[in-house]
Amino acid sequence: MDHCALNVALYGPGARWTMTERGRGAVRRNADCLQIGPSAMRWTGDALEIEIEEMDKRVGVPWQRRVAGRVRVIPEAMNAKAFALDPQGRHRWHCLAPRARIEVTMQQPGLAWQGSAYLDSNFGSEALEQGFRVWHWSRAHGRHGSFVFYEGIRRDGRPFASALRFAADGTPHEEAELPPVAPLPNTLWQMERKTRADRGHASVVRTWEDAPFYSRSTLRSTLLGEPVVSVQESLDMDRFSSPIVQFMLPYRIPRVE
């Protein structure tokens, strides 16, 4: 409650990036709504509505730019099961909507589109860097369901990996065999990234985020014989914990009391 933020990342022309941290006094929540400063997320019937009222005011941006609009996420399938990412269950991942529709209407910048979406949640009883060294995650929508791959190295050095296929109704099925590892080229920050795909082959369409400890990319690959487009993320918690990155973070994530 003392460290809450709404992260908005818009790519391409008119790009914006906001993540203003706010304290307990600026946060309100109940069963259906989470308000962080002037922005809020709330369930309204069958949709999650995100009201955005933020400022892109990172150090290095020469002027403050308003970021305002509404995002509606409409699940096409819901999954009630959460999964433990470590044997002690300190870190859990819940894919709430493996497949959804999205409607985006932005006032600042003036953008609007509709498309496919995905909604999940990570939560736990300790900081991520206490439980993990690195992880890689990716998801893809297929004709008959959705695929999610999760793998990495826990803090104790043990690797973990899982492949989940969500049916059209959201029911998860754990694959008996993981597809082969598909290595990907390192980012400009030399972040290692990888995914899973048929024949161990995937290609990077575009790298959207390239930070010292995190990357987000769009990939093309084949899963179970079906060509798919994936969203892929890699996270290096050792890099995140380094004194240099910790010193840099307040410039990227300003705090407003």
pLDDT at 44: 93
Identify the H or E element spanning 130: helix 128-131
CA 65/CA 70 separation, integer angstroms: 17
Give 235-246 pLDDT, tens digit per residue.
999 999 999 999
Q: How many CB atoms lie within 10 A of CB 191?
A: 22
Give 146-157 pLDDT, tens digit per residue.
999 999 999 999
Encoded tokens for 111: 């953008």
Collapsing DSSP to helix, strand or coil, 144 comes out as coil
Q: How far is CA 25 from CA 2, 21, 39, 77, in A?
A: 8, 12, 14, 35
Look at the block and give the residue holding tokens 């043990």: 158
pLDDT at 61: 61
For the chain, which residues score pLDDT lower than 50? none
pLDDT at 175: 75
pLDDT at 168: 87
Kindly report whether the global pTM for this prediction surpasses the value 0.95: no
pLDDT at 58: 64
pLDDT at 4: 96
pLDDT at 201: 96
Q: How far is CA 159 from CA 103, 133, 193, 227, in A?
A: 37, 10, 15, 28
pLDDT at 62: 63
